[in-house]
Structure 1
Amino acid sequence: MTTNTKERVALVTGGSAGLGRALCTELARQGWRVVTDGRSEEKFTEADLPDGVTALVGDLTDAEHRATLLAEVDGLGRLDLLVHNASTLGPLPMRPLAEVEVADLAHVWRTNVGGPLVLTAALLPRLRASDGVLLSISSDAAVQHYEGWGLYGASKAGLDHVTLTYAAETGVRAYAVDPGDMRTAMHQDASPGEDISDRPLPETVVPHLLALLDARPESGRYRAEDFR
């Protein structure tokens, strides 16, 4: 499998806002070539991502869009880091499990688990050839039980399981990472009317993620704040 660039290459899903945008920006600043995606062209315009980041508009659950991402990575000839960051809370306002419909479950799991599962499968040859890392952004809701967060939390638990099973089955280094609370649009959507200005900005989480990548511990579930 040929390598077309000496620069490290990352694919970060959901890079138009929040933690995804912050991570893409810092990776590019450090000399990485970054491919990212998101559903809104308008958000990418607002994001003003730096040179070195290629942004592709599309939905991760769409097979044609995944093929476009794969082609972009193949054109670069390597993949050192795959980050599953894109996700959905599901129907808003968030609701108890007793009020969840099958269609809600299908949508959240298709986005938060299914998309990452099949995208990882497609990119495994590149990831393994570069001795790369699979990193999935998880949540404390994957292991704790909060009212209204059951659907989202179950999907993140599923993402954790998929991520670490890939590590067990293929030997690829894989991490499911809880980034902690952040001041993002998604968190505000989950907490309508609540003042979340005391939460740290996503940019403050990025150094912890990069410290994790530098440390390269054994595959597992980690908290970002434990790496400095």
Structure 2
Amino acid sequence: MTNTALITGASRGLGLALARSLAADGWKLILTARGRDALARAADDLGALALAGDVADPAHRDRLARAARDLGGLDLLVNNASGLGPVPMRPLADYPVDTLEELLRVNVLAPLALIQATLPGLRERRGAIVNVSSDAAVEAYEGWGGYAATKAALERLSHVLAVEEPDVAVWWFDPGEMRTAMLADAVGAEEAATAPAPETVVPTLRRLVAERPASGRIRHR
């Protein structure tokens, strides 16, 4: 039986690097991201199904869940899509609350809703969920309060889900700093250029899927 994965935020960065690795091993892939053109190019290269859209949109999540059902269910759901918040980074004293509400929809509510929509298939195939988090969820960095709050919430949801769903592996995954557009937005292109490439993180994720350790917080080292 061919394994099937759904990866959000798959047009660049860690999502695209993981998709390339899985495709090379024959996985069926459902890829989504907001950037339609970049996503289409990635999917064409990998022979994957591309469904462009915003994971915060319930109708788009329904399309993703339907695609997963049409392929017989999922072995792996990777909630990688994420928003950063206002740039330049803002202290909490000046953080716009309406922006935080939107960030919570993208970084917390959308992953949970997508899990809920795909969970029956994941249960049936004893699949796995990777919720991509950050060290900002557990460390206090000036200016990162809004983003950090969303990742801390995602980690708590992941932990409870792991207890409630013993037949599904749930990992909340801290990849560390990576050379991505998001990091460049946060700290500047020059500093971001010194970070490791997303491809260096993929072997850790592949080991999770292959070895299936107990659900929990996993940090890339």
TM range, smaller chain: over 0.9
**Aligned match of 2:199:** 203
Q: 1:107 & 1:123 partners in 2: Cα distance?
A: 23
Aligned-pair CA distance for 1:117:
0.7
Deviates more, 1:48-57 or 1:59-68: 48-57
From 177, 187, 194, the counterpart of 2:190: 194
2: CA distance, partners of 1:170 / 1:16? 29
Corresponding position of 1:177? 173
- How far apart, CA to CA, are the structure 2 residues paired with 1:46 and 1:36? 11
1:110 match: secondary structure? helix
Which residue, out of 74, 79, 99, partners 2:74?
A: 79
Residue in structure 2 matched with residue 141 of structure 1 by the alignment: 136
Distance in 1, Cα, partners of 2:211 & 2:12: 26
Is residue 37 of structure 1 aligned with residue 28 of structure 2? no
**How far, CA to CA, are the matches of 2:155 and 2:44 in structure 1?**
28
Q: Do structure 1's residue 127 and structure 2's residue 119 form an aligned pair?
A: no
Structure 1 residue 51: deviation in Å?
3.1
Q: Matched residues in 2 for 1:37 and 1:54: separation?
A: 9
Query: Secondary structure, in 3 states, of the residue corresponding to 1:145?
Result: coil
State the partner residue of 2:210. Answer: 214
CA distance in 1, matches of 2:157, 2:45: 31
- 1:122 counterpart SS class: helix
Aligned-residue offset at 1:102: 1.7
Equivalent residue of 1:174, what SS?
A: strand
Unmatched runs of 5 consecutive residues or more in structure 2: none
RMSD, aligned α-carbons: 1.3
Deviations 1:101-145 (A, max 9, x none): 220110110000000011101111000100000111110000000
Say whether 1:70 aligns with 2:65: yes
CA distance, structure 1, for counterparts of residue 26 and residue 213 of structure 2: 23
The one-letter amino acid paired with 1:173 is A
Pick which of 39-48 and 83-92 moved more: 39-48
Supply the AA of the counterpart residue of 1:37.
Answer: T
TM-score (norm 2): 0.95
Contact residue 12 and residue 24 of structure 1 kept, 8 A: yes
Shift of 1:194: 3.4
Q: Secondary structure at the match of 2:194?
A: coil
The 8 Å contact of residues 212 and 224 in structure 1, kept in 2 or not, is answered as: no
**One of 8, 11, 19 as aligned partner of 2:14:** 19
Where 1:195 maps in the other structure, the secondary structure is helix
Contact 1:140-1:178 at 8 Å conserved across structures: yes
In 1, distance between residues paired with 2:2 and 2:43? Answer: 22
Task: Name the aligned partner's letter for residue 215 of structure 2.
Answer: S
Equivalents in 1 of 2:5, 2:187: separation in Å? 31
For normalisation by structure 1, the TM-score amounts to 0.92
Q: Which amino acid aligns with 1:188?
A: A
